[in-house]
Amino acid sequence: MPTIPQTQVSINLTGTSSVPDNFTIKIYPWDSATNAVSATSRTYATGVSRSTPSAINGGTLISGYGISPIYQNDYQIELISTSTCTTSATISVEGDPDFLTQIKSIYQPSLFTISENNPSKDYSDTINNNNVHLLSGIAILGTVEILPYLDAADFTITANTQLDETGNPVHDQYQYGPFSSFTITKSGKILTLKGNPNTALLVANGAYQGYFLLTYTPSNQSSLFTYWYRPNSN
């Protein structure tokens, strides 16, 4: 079982002279199915007063109450008090820069499925070419669903191991893959991973199994995916 990444955040109330005690703290994750904050929460703590010290950092709701664990898909923290009348306050990833920074620091793209456009030799992609050189154009390597409030600019793609169709490492001109650069575009919660063919490369016979890394730079966590290609006209 892979280790589930986690972090902690600190929260504090302002204008505490008019704030009641006896808070329940709830944490709501992001629901990818509905593309909204989940209606289901987990209760983190109950009976928390303004001066209750956190077991995480010793802080209070006035000085900064520590909450841990926070997972990468946690989106909102709600404080609810019913000591006299019902009072609530919410903190969300998109509304609190520090909360978002903590989520970014643990985000792992490997926990989300990359849908590979050309996942096998039988479905390899013939890269645009003129039978001599590769030609400019865009090759779609795949797509991946992410948390929609993350930025495409924080993702990068790099070439990893390249294998020939018999499974041996490639040591010729394609050892660094067929692309000169990569681009990543985002629509909603979907990233599209694209490669720009290296027009300096000569065409070659056969298929190649390319391995590539999708890295999320704020956490420096990566996910390996494959792209089968034919740098020829077969």
In a domain, 1, yes or no: no
Tell me: do 21 and 87 sit in the same domain.
yes
pLDDT in the model for residue 234? 59
pLDDT in the model for residue 16? 61
Q: Indicate the SS3 state at residue 154.
A: helix
Q: Which residues of 74-102 are buried (b: 16+ CB within 10 A; e: fewer)?
A: bbbbbbbbeeeeeeeeebbbeebeebbeb
Residue at which a domain ends, from 57, 86, 106: 106
pLDDT in the model for residue 4? 82
Q: Which segments in the chain show pLDDT lower than 50?
A: 1
- Total tally of structural domains belonging to the chain: 2
Give residue-wise pLDDT tens across range 178-189.
999 999 999 999
In a domain, 115, yes or no: yes
Q: Cβ–Cβ contacts within 10 Å for residue 169, how many?
A: 9
Tell me: do 115 and 102 sit in the same domain.
no
Tell me: do 86 and 122 sit in the same domain.
no
Residue linked to tokens 């599209």: 192
CATH label of the domain that carries residue 197: 2.60.40
Structural domain harbouring 122: 111-230
